[in-house]
């Protein structure tokens, strides 16, 4: 009888221990551990998957350029650039033009597929005699790209784990707390996805800023000294003509002033 009682007591004890073990997976236990167990488990599983596969790293390069040159024909140069942009499947993202006393300048910002950047630049350069400025730079963002990808993967797995915990939440308090954590994780996921899209866009499309201008010599400074003297003499004659024309236009006022002066002088003589 004692043996049977001891056997049932042992079974009840094991069942009790098992129930306690199940409770450690509740949200309360995760909250007390600040969710570190969840994060570490997700990271560990991600690292194991990565270790079991051969990873081929594709370099992520952002290429940008800036060129400046003088041209004799602004319209012809613009047409040549626009044809090249269309040929290499690019687009113009910014177009500015301004004029000063010395030149007319056009600024174009061109986005071109990265694989077509060098052919596009060579075609533009074929019509340029001399560059005032030419800078081409390449920025390797491979490490940054992979880092964001890895963190995004962890966050998505963490989001899935929180979703599973939410289904098992047993009280309103736990539901609200899990939903708050889910909102934070999803906000971070959206931010990382936006960063990845931006980096991918910069990698896929290279940026080239093209500045071309035409010198404009002012007519006022292009005249010779003799020509300036001749123009000044002509301007003087024209000014005299306009002076007499102006006097003719105001002759009634001039006549009135003359009569007034004569009248005043006669009055003065009578008094004397």
For residues 192-214, average pLDDT: 93
For residue 147, name the pLDDT band (cuts at 50, 70, 90): very high
- Conformation bin of residue 267: beta by default, left when phi > 0, alpha when psi is -120 to 50: alpha
Q: Which residue has the higher pLDDT, 201 or 42?
A: 201
Q: What is the pLDDT of residues 67-80, one digit of tens each?
A: 999 999 999 999 99
Q: Where are the alpha helices (DSSP H) in 53-141?
A: 74-87, 117-125
Q: What is the pLDDT of residues 45-69, one digit of tens each?
A: 444 544 544 557 788 999 999 999 9
Q: What is the pLDDT of residues 110-140, one digit of tens each?
A: 999 999 999 999 999 998 999 999 999 999 9
For helices 172-204 and 142-168, the axis angle rounded to 10 degrees is 160
Kindly list the strands in the beta sheet with 205-215, ordered across the sheet, starting from the edge strand earlier in the chain: 91-99, 103-113, 205-215, 61-70, 131-140
Q: What is the pLDDT of residues 83-105, one digit of tens each?
A: 999 999 999 999 999 888 788 99
Tell me the pTM. Answer: 0.58
User: What pLDDT, on the 0 to 100 scale, is given for residue 218?
Assistant: 55
Q: Cα angle vertex 151, ends 190, 50, to 5°?
A: 135
In the chain, what percentage of residues exceed pLDDT 90?
Answer: 45
Round to whole Å and give the CA distance between 224 and 222: 7
């Amino acid at each position: 009888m004692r043996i049977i009682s001891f056997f049932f007591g042992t079974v009840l004890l094991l069942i009790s221990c098992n129930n306690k073990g199940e409770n450690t997976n509740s949200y309360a236990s995760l909250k007390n551990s600040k969710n570190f167990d969840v994060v570490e488990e997700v990271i560990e599983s991600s690292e194991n998957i990565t270790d079991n596969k051969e990873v081929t790293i594709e370099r992520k390069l952002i290429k940008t350029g800036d060129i400046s040159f003088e041209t004799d024909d602004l319209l012809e140069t613009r047409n040549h650039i626009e044809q090249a942009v269309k040929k290499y499947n690019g687009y113009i993202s910014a177009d500015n033009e301004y004029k000063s006393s010395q030149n007319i300048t056009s600024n174009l910002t061109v986005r071109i597929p990265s694989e077509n950047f060098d052919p596009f630049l060579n075609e533009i350069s074929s019509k340029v005699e001399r560059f005032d400025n030419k800078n081409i730079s390449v920025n390797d963002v491979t490490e940054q790209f992979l880092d964001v990808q890895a963190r995004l993967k962890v966050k998505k797995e963490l989001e899935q784990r929180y979703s599973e915990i939410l289904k098992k939440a047993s009280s309103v308090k736990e539901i609200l707390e899990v939903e708050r954590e889910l909102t934070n994780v999803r906000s971070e996921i959206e931010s990382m996805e936006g960063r990845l899209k931006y980096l991918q866009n910069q990698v896929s499309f290279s940026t080239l800023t093209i500045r071309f201008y035409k010198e404009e010599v002012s007519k006022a400074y292009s005249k010779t000294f003799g020509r300036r003297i001749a123009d000044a003499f002509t301007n003087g004659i024209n000014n005299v003509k306009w002076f007499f024309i102006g006097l003719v236009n105001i002759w009634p006022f001039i006549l009135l002033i003359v009569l007034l002066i004569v009248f005043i002088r006669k009055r003065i003589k009578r008094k004397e």
